[in-house]
Structure 1
């Protein structure tokens, strides 16, 4: 299974970014390979459409699950609903490692 985290850094100890569209970093964890990879999001300077751009980047990574803080906005959700993805929210105040544990323990709320 592949999991995307909205993060403010590139490691397990990085804080989660509560934002979806304007997240700092997309962290992709491949459970089968036990591999964590970071991808810069680069949407900070955008006036509009950050959520849509981020949704497209996420889809390119082909995750099964997205873990974030506040969840994706309405327009991003429209795109993400077309794919077999699960989005979990409520991890905004956690580290990436804590968010992963919360997901595995069924603590996070499901947005999609």
Structure 2
């Protein structure tokens, strides 16, 4: 089976990126062979639609599961419609550790979107209700 992992780099030793559509990197991992192939994040710097573009890239890559920190509502709907199981809340560990937990059956799929607020380092994300955290208006 192929699965995708959002990463802060291009290897399994990099940390899981807490973001999906704007992740620093994506890895496609073949769970049968253990081979990990970097995949470009298609719209990481787009004003909108980054999550949908990333979901489409996973479908084209043949991924059946996603290991990540969080997905937004539009991406969550697209991934669910494509039959891709989503495993969230995995930031703060290496992609390899997340993969090992997946392979051991220690993760539970969670296709519902997660609200995003300030990430470590003060990055700005989406707050509940779709407002942009850290911005007034």
Are 1:6 and 2:6 matched, yes or no? Answer: yes
Per-residue displacement from partner, 1:46-105 (whole Å, max 9, x unpaired)?
Answer: 1111111111111111111110012x2111122112222211011111101111122233
- For residue 39 of structure 2, give the secondary structure of its aligned residue in structure 1: strand
Mark the runs of 5 or more structure 2 residues left unpaired by the alignment: 112-137
1:23-38 aligned within 5 A: 23-38=23-38
**Superposition misfits of 4+ residues, deviation over 6 angstroms:** none
Q: Quick one: distance in 1 between partners of 2:107 and 2:7?
A: 16
- Whether the 8 Å CA contact 2:42–2:50 is kept in 1: the answer is no
More strand by share: 1
- Higher Rg: 2
Normalised to the residue count of structure 1, the TM-score between the two structures is: 0.88
Distance in structure 2 (CA, Å) of the matches to 1:7 and 1:16: 4
* CA–CA separation in structure 1 for the residues paired with 2:53 and 2:7: 16
Specify every segment of 5 or more residues in structure 1 that has no aligned partner in the other structure, as ranges: none
Pick 1 or 2: higher relative contact order, CA cutoff 8 A, min separation 6: 1
Structure 1 residues 59 and 86: alpha-carbon distance in aligned structure 2, compared to 1, 3 A threshold: same
Q: Distance in 1 between matches of 2:48 and 2:22?
A: 10
TM-score by length of 2: 0.74
